Amino acid sequence: MSKTLLFAAGDLSGDIHSARLAKGVLARHPDWKIYALGGAHLREAGAQIIGDTSDLGVIGYVSALAVTPRSMGLKWAALRFLKSHRVDAIVLCDWGGFNTRFLPHLKNFQIPILYYFPPRSWQQSGNGGLAIADKVERIATPFEWSAKRLRAVGGKADWVGHPLLEIVAETQARHPRDEIRAELGVGENEFLIALFPGSRPSELKVIAPHVAGAVEILRKQFGAKLRFVIAVPKGATDHVRAHFPALPIWENRSTEILSACHAAIVKSGTATLEAAVCDAPQVVVYDVTRLVEAQVRLTGLRRRVPLVAMPNILLGRAFVPELLGHNCRAHFIAEAMTPLIEKPAAREAMQREYSLVRDALGAGLPYTATARTAQILDEMLLGASENS
């Protein structure tokens, strides 16, 4: 029997992971229909978009307030859809700022809900993210400790692993390292340095000049030995080109670049985790406008969140250099990159820690995150006996 699903994913990574899940579901059940609050990836996966969530990522209270009217419009659009359509299951993915506020409105519909990537799943202590446990039927989480914490408060949570593992494995199989280096024209004795300066204009304005300055310092230090390439999301080239007019920019090919590089300068975010999965030694950078910096100081956020790079957060120690705020300056970035360029031992030490990160992401699990989550949806809608 055909089923109808509603997905809700607001940020880029959630859109990507939800799209993989949607493809997996439709491959198993071609007659099922998927509607979504989502972006380009869910649309390309075959979902019918009832509300476009592209570019809803925010930094600080001011930018959050700026997107509030749009978020409210998306919420009411979804509720109108639920009132006028029969929906068999709802899949929420990440996007905690929206989805946790959307959840109370779903109670009266009595539709089974799967939360994929529950909010604050990376957190190993405290109460963050646990409030969803009794509000959804199933939870598929990327971290083992997240599943244990949610089960401890009554949630039906499964550790499914992180889809980055499967994304990287698939991409590396299609595009071997040597093929990417050849495409970039990188010689056998040259070091490829990957740059991830971000893509939002507000981030580029404060971060890109420092990364560009570090490139010039490293060029003077190492000469023609270094080659540089910039990785950006689809459609971000024009924003980035103004800051790096002479460097090659590749869109939507972050995994290939990280798999082929010698080391990377990475803006704090999901790319830091991707670098760990790709085994790319990295220095993490981040800076904000003065207004956002004032907000951080007033809220004491920096004291409450001492680590920002996801690999560091997962292992609970700063083995990846984090250059934040006033430390995100060209000379500090170049200084932190130097041992990763010069010393094999420095790269190898970071890569040993990366193996522990991959274990935490589910590298030893007998299934992929996407396949197991699609199976959980089958269990919800068809019953375990039909999901063999």
- pLDDT grade, residue 304 (50/70/90)? low
pLDDT tens-digit readout, 326-356: 999 999 999 999 999 999 999 999 999 999 9
Q: At what angle do helices 344-360 and 270-278 cross, to 10 degrees?
A: 110
- Those residues whose C-beta lies under 8 Å from the C-beta of residue 249, and which sit 6 or more positions away, are 229, 230, 231, 232, 237, 240, 241
156-189 pLDDT, tens digit per residue, is: 999 999 999 999 999 999 999 999 999 999 999 9
What pLDDT, on a 0 to 100 scale, did the predictor assign at position 61?
Answer: 46
Spans of all domains in the chain: 4-161+365-386, 166-360
Q: At what angle do helices 60-84 and 290-299 cross, to 10 degrees?
A: 80
Confidence band, pLDDT 50/70/90 cuts, at residue 132: very high
pLDDT number for residue 55: 75
Architecture of the domain defined by 166-360? 3-Layer(aba) Sandwich (3.40)
Q: Is pLDDT above 60 for 27?
A: yes
CATH architecture of 4-161+365-386: 3-Layer(aba) Sandwich (3.40)
> d(Cα 236, Cα 267) in Å, to the nearest integer?
15
Torsion over CA: 71, 74, 76, 82 (sign): negative
Mean pLDDT, the chain, rounded, equals 93
Sign of CA dihedral 298, 299, 304, 305: negative
- Global pTM exceeds 0.85: yes
CA distance 253 to 248: 12
